[in-house]
């Protein structure tokens, strides 16, 4: 009975990077992945306050920051009215081949 190693998604991406760039080690590929992810993360963090900011990565997808203002809500059990907090969320919309191959639910 052979035991197969189950790869997580990060390992799959690292393997693709290593193969595509003909890198010698897995560690080199992981460092490339870390640089790209941290650059995307830092770009989003730098633009959190911009309500119209969108980061479009061709053929992969688009990151946008959604701002939701605070609103007043009535709590039905107690009858009091409280103000909710304003929220910011990062939204991802797939594009290109990824979007074409999505399955609708």
Structure tokens at 15: 């393997």
Query: pLDDT tens-digit profile of 14-40?
Result: 999 999 999 999 999 999 999 999 999
* 5-9, 24-28, 79-83, 86-90: least confident range: 5-9
Decide: pTM greater than 0.85. Answer: no
Task: Name 85's Cβ contacts closer than 8 Å, sequence gap at least 6.
Answer: 70
Q: How far is CA 1 from CA 5, 8, 30, in A?
A: 13, 22, 31
Structure confidence at residue 69 (pLDDT): 87
């Amino acid at each position: 009975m052979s035991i197969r190693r189950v790869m997580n998604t990060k390992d799959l991406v690292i393997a693709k990077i290593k193969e595509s760039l003909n890198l010698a080690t897995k560690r080199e590929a992981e460092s490339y992945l870390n640089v790209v992810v941290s650059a995307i993360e830092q770009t989003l963090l730098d633009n959190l306050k911009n309500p119209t900011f969108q980061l479009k990565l061709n053929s992969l997808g688009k990151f946008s920051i959604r701002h939701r203002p605070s609103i007043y809500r009535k709590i039905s059990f107690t009858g009091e009215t409280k103000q909710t907090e304003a929220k910011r969320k990062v939204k991802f919309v797939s594009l290109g081949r990824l979007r074409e191959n999505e399955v609708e639910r």
